[in-house]
Amino acid sequence: MPSINLNDEHYNTFFLTLKIVNDLNVFTSKKYFDIILNSLGYCQKNKGMHILAFAILSNHLHLIFWIDEKVVLKDLVRDFKHFTASQILKQLKQDSQEQILKIFNDLASKAFDRNYKVWRRTTHPEVLYSDKFLEQKIKYVDFNATHHNLTDNPEEYLYTSYHNHYCKHEPVLKLL
């Protein structure tokens, strides 16, 4: 695992989990994973997000990242969730996933002014306040696919930063 230290530059470092409502398994094919990966890449290049670790599973996403001083965490998360939700809904409609769309629609009727609800409202960001805590969380994220019994070998699961930290091949998302 890489040596990453929290220093003055990384004082805004967070562990964050984003979950799909009702724990629906939305990330089941490459096109859905790509929505998240492309959005994360955009946030790295344009939104002041510096990803240290990630794992995308069938119904949730773990992220460890630090943000530039000028970036407001709640705004970044809100924009990410809004954009990815719109892209996920667009793809679900193209794939005629009526059952999932109906659930998202039924849940939205309880929400404010939306036709669909994709992401859970809460994200519970944790500030990573020590190098030891950071290393512990990175290891948790990198091996998350094995914790969820998606694989016995984390190298077989593509959608995690395990490949950035332990492998020499090209990962699905380059960490900046």
Whichever domain contains 77, its CATH number is 3.30.70.1290
- Identify the DSSP state of 68: -
pTM score: 0.90
Q: What digits encode the pLDDT tens for the residues 103-158?
A: 999 888 655 667 889 999 888 889 998 889 999 999 999 999 998 888 888 999 99
34 found inside a domain: yes
Q: Judge whether 67 lies within some domain.
A: yes
- Does any domain span residue 176? no
Residues contacting 146, CB < 8 A, separation 6+ = 152, 153, 154, 157
pLDDT exceeds cutoff 60 at 22: yes
Q: Is residue 113 part of a domain?
A: yes
The average pLDDT across 147-174 equals: 92
Asked if 53 and 142 touch (Cβ cutoff 8 Å), the reply is yes
| Low-confidence winner among 3-12, 40-49, 89-98, 121-130 (lowest mean pLDDT) | 3-12
The pLDDT value given to residue 123: 87
The 10s digit of each residue's pLDDT in 31-88 is 999 999 999 999 999 999 999 999 999 999 999 999 998 999 999 999 999 999 999 9
Contact by Cβ (8 Å): 140, 16 = no
Residue 176, pLDDT above cutoff 90: no
The pLDDT of residue 73 is 92
Is 6's pLDDT higher than 60? no
Does some domain include residue 137? yes
Could you tell me where the beta strands, DSSP code E, fall in the chain?
Answer: 13-19, 49-56, 60-67, 126-127
**Structural domain count of the chain:** 1
Q: Is residue 174 part of a domain?
A: no
Q: Is residue 175 part of a domain?
A: no
- Per-residue confidence (pLDDT) for residue 113, from 0 to 100: 60
CA 173 to CA 159: how far, in whole Å?
A: 8
Is 171 within a domain?
no
Residue that wins the pLDDT comparison between 93 and 176 = 93
How confident is the model at residue 4, as a pLDDT? 52
Structural domain boundaries, residue 41: 8-166
Q: Residue 75's CB: how many other CB atoms inside 10 A?
A: 10
In the chain, what are the helix, strand and coil shares in percent, each to the nearest 5? 45, 15, 40
- Distance, C-alpha 168 to centroid of its chain: 22
